[in-house]
Amino acid sequence: MPSFEDPGEFLRRAVLDTVVPHASDIDLEAALTSALEGGADDLPSVLSSIPQRPLLFFDEHCTPRIVLRLSNCSESSLKHHLQHLEVRLDAFAIEPAESVADNPTPTRDLIFSGAVSGDEDPLVVVNEFEGDTESGNHVYVIWSIETFIRRPRIRIQHPSLLFLASASLNPTESRQHQTRGDDYLPPMVPASSNVLQPLSSDKTFQQKDPFLPASRLLRVVPATFTEDPIYNVYQQTGHPIRVVAAASARIRYSRLNSYSALPTTVASLDFEITPFLSCDVILDKAELYLSDGTVETLSDVPELTPPITCSPRDDVTLVYKLTSEFGPDPNPSSTVTPSILDISLGAVILLSDDCRPRISMQWRTNVDFSLPLNPTFGSPTPTLQRNNRPASLPMNPTHSSTNSGIRPPSRSSIRERAYSGADLGVSISFSGPASVEVGKPFSWDVFIVNRSTVPRKFAMIGIPRRKRVDPRGHVARPSSSSMSSRKEIQVAEAVTDDNIVHAMQKSVAGQEADLVCLSTDIRIG
């Protein structure tokens, strides 16, 4: 087996940095070679020769590069340690105008965190140099990682994006491979003491002395070294890049006053280009999906059919007709759960010929398909006054209207409609996959609408299944409440009482649950 250098020496003089090139299809190998031939020696000066992005956008899919420079690294050592190297990238939205004196804890929000895939082969550039005082090489290892710049969860006045990379080397697998066939103790390591040593003089143990190592009873403390090897490398300084919103989107609904057999709502989707840009934007994707209904495009004209070229400050409005698959509820005293609408938008920003970043927006909202109010229901006349008179009346469906029933949507999820009484004003809807596999986790989406005037609380608690009582051994045990003074009345005695059922439920032992809740307790105010 060939000998490799120590993992600590492999990363001893390593330097880590990040760069976001301006051109999407840049040849980094040629750019680094040109910078090195021009006399650049340290890593920041080498990367500064590459044209970089001065401006990023929220909702953008960008590809930053992580550059690791190694010193005096051989080819065999690089191949051996590279497979055990884990490289990560974190992106923070920060406020660069804040100083440490004004705010000791600067405002920052983690908007992306990911690791480089182990299947990806990095780009390796070797720079051999010879001088009067030293000779060796610098090896540049470059990874690409796809990053999505989502919007921060906190409010930042002038946001900037900061990329910080880290690399860690885990030589555990290599050490196990080297010591796989050696089952003996390492040299110069004392053996564990025998706890049963005082029993060795006992005559009961004639053939063999009892032996119990102390390591089986005590906590094993790893040996300490005088100098820990360097197995981790972090990026020392970051380069904040200004980030702005290239576009904004919103959707609005307009309920139809006319009555139809199926509830219908008109939705207008607005896509507005912000004034921060000085170039055109091409909107090439606009998709809407209704969980239990159909979506029809009303703005079906060539000018409003993607791809649409937009200039700064332009506002494009796309109109859709949303129709529910469920007919109106024949019971006007119940509340129907709104339907779920998924919206997906995609656009390309034409910054230059070699830089065309792509942005995408995806979110989920609800559509209210409740019955429209009757416009003929006016204010009460002076001769007829009622304290509990409602403000309006819904338009009830006629007996000739038909309900389309519940049909599973085209996607692999089924959504059950939930109804609640008007006195509570709360409706709940559950949606989940159409089929699940035993032993694999799945998730449910719970959508709650509160139309009441008071706040409500919702709790979902997983209750384990209890053992079923054998019905053959059941004996009727009436409670004391049924043995009352009304014995003379010809009333049959109760088979059992609620108190007995509760006691039997608590006394039985639990069984293995068919459905295990991984989120054991969820409470929402």
Q: Which two tokens stand for residue 371?
A: 């019955």
Of 46-60, 206-220, 412-426, where does mean pLDDT reach its minimum? 412-426
Band (154; pLDDT cuts 50, 70, 90)? confident
Rounded to an integer, what distance in angstroms lies between the CA atom of residue 434 and that of residue 429?
A: 15
Domains of the chain: 7-173+231-242 (no CATH), 246-367 (2.60.40.1470), 471-507 (no CATH)
Burial class for 341, CB neighbours closer than 10 Å (0-12, 13-18, 19+): buried
Given this model, what pLDDT does residue 121 score?
85
Given this model, what pLDDT does residue 489 score?
55
Closest CA to 354 of 50, 66, 127, 124: 50
Mean pLDDT on 273-296? 91
Band (63; pLDDT cuts 50, 70, 90)? very high
- For the chain, what is the mean pLDDT? 75
Mean pLDDT on 67-94? 88
Per-residue model confidence as pLDDT tens digits over 465-489: 665 555 555 555 555 554 445 455 5
Given this model, what pLDDT does residue 273 score?
94
Of 186-200, 404-418, 419-433, where does mean pLDDT reach its minimum? 404-418
SS3 128: strand
Given this model, what pLDDT does residue 381 score?
56
Highest mean pLDDT among 273-282, 438-447, 466-475: 273-282
Of 5-9, 74-78, 383-387, where does mean pLDDT reach its minimum? 383-387
Q: Is a pLDDT exceeding 70 seen at residue 12?
A: yes
Rounded to an integer, what distance in angstroms lies between the CA atom of residue 308 and that of residue 316?
A: 9
Contact of 346 with 358, CB cutoff 8 Å: yes
Please tell me the pTM assigned to this model. 0.65
Closest CA to 251 of 266, 229, 232: 266
More confident residue, 416 or 357: 357
Rounded to an integer, what distance in angstroms lies between the CA atom of residue 193 and that of residue 185?
A: 14
Residue 322's H or E segment, with its range, is strand 315-324
How many Cα atoms are found within 13 Å in the side-chain-facing hemisphere of 443?
A: 3
Per-residue model confidence as pLDDT tens digits over 31-61: 888 888 877 777 888 888 889 999 999 999 9
DSSP calls for 351-403 = SSSS---EEEEEEEEEE--PPPBPTT--PPPTT---TT--S--B-PPPTT---
Residue 467 identity: K
